[in-house]
Amino acid sequence: MKDLYEITLNLVENTGAADAIAQIAKERDEGITTEGTVDLIWINGENFYNGLTAGNLYGPWATKVPNAINFDFDSAAIAYDFGHSTNGYEVKN
């Protein structure tokens, strides 16, 4: 990522996706909308749904990634998570 996009990835341990979603919500409540402590998280299911419905996820972005052509966004397996539309905020296989 550094060579191609000049992005430095710093892995930070946390106690789980639910805590990361809670941290994002806390920071937004405090008015922090840039330079937050959570930039990228691996979530799905209930945590994805909670972040999405709270308006705390960035997007839609899924169709903009370089390998988006390899995904069938009309497939129910990709278009839905936790029984709800991903609305372009998630890529999964």
pLDDT in tens, 11-46: 878 788 999 999 999 999 999 988 888 888 888 889
- pLDDT above 70: residue 5: yes
Residue 21 included in any domain: yes
Global confidence as pTM:
0.76
Residue 50 included in any domain: yes
Number of domains in the chain: 1
Residue 75 included in any domain: yes
Residue 93 included in any domain: no
Contact 73, 63 (CB under 8 A): yes
Question: What residue numbers bound the domain in which 78 lies?
Answer: 11-85
The span from the CA of 60 to the CA of 90, in Å, is 8
What integer pLDDT is reported at residue 93 of this predicted model? 65
The span from the CA of 65 to the CA of 83, in Å, is 24
